[in-house]
Copies of this chain bind each other. A is one copy, B any other.
Amino acid sequence: MKRATIKDVAEAAGVSRAAVSKVLRNAYGLSDDMRTRVEAAMTALNYRPQTAARGLRGRTYTLGIVLPDMRNPFFPDILDGVISTLRSTSYEPLIGFRPSAEATEQHAIDTMLDHKIDGFLMVAPRLEEAYLTAVATSVPTVMIGRHDRDCGYDTVNNDDRTGARLAVEHLISLGHRDIAYFGLDPASAAPNNSTTRRLVGYRETMAAHGLADRISIFEGTHFRSDRYDEEVSRRILQSQPRPTAVFCWTDSVAFTLMAEAAKLGIRVPDDLSVIGYDNSRLAALPQLSLTSVDQAGHQLGSDAMKLLIERIEGRQTDQHIILPPHLDIKGSTGPVPARG
CA distance A281 to B113 in the complex (A): 33
**A96-104, A149-157, A169-177, A200-208 - the one binding chain B:** A96-104
Is the pair A96, B95 in contact by a Cβ cutoff of 8 Å? yes
- Pick from B3, B55, B96, B255: contact of A94, CB below 8 A: B96
A50 at the interface (CB under 8 A from B): yes
A52 at the interface (CB under 8 A from B): yes
Minimum-distance CB pairs A-B, first 3: A52-B55, A262-B286, A51-B114
Is the pair A285, B76 in contact by a Cβ cutoff of 8 Å? no
A217 at the interface (CB under 8 A from B): no
CB neighbours of A87 from chain B (8 A): 99-100
Q: Within the complex, what minimum Cβ distance (angstroms) separates A83 from chain B?
A: 5
CA distance A94 to B263 in the complex (A): 38
CA distance A76 to B100 in the complex (A): 11
- Pick from B70, B114, B287: contact of A70, CB below 8 A: B70
Size category, A interface: 35 or more
CA distance A281 to B256 in the complex (A): 11
CB 8 Å contact bits of A95-131 with B (1 = contact, 0 = none): 1110110000001001111111000000000000000
CB neighbours of A86 from chain B (8 A): 99
Is the pair B70, A76 in contact by a Cβ cutoff of 8 Å? yes
- Given contact pairs A50-B56, A50-B116, A94-B95, enumerate 11 new A-B contacts (beta carbons under 8 Å): A51-B52, A51-B114, A52-B53, A70-B70, A71-B281, A83-B99, A87-B100, A92-B107, A255-B282, A258-B285, A259-B287
CB neighbours of A111 from chain B (8 A): 51, 62, 92-94
CA distance A259 to B284 in the complex (A): 9
- Pick from B56, B94, B285, B288: contact of A115, CB below 8 A: B94
Within 8 A of B (CB), among A280-299: 281-282, 284-288
- Pick from B52, B76, B287: contact of A288, CB below 8 A: B287
Is the pair B116, A51 in contact by a Cβ cutoff of 8 Å? yes
Query: Of all chain B residues, which has the CB nearest A52?
Result: B55
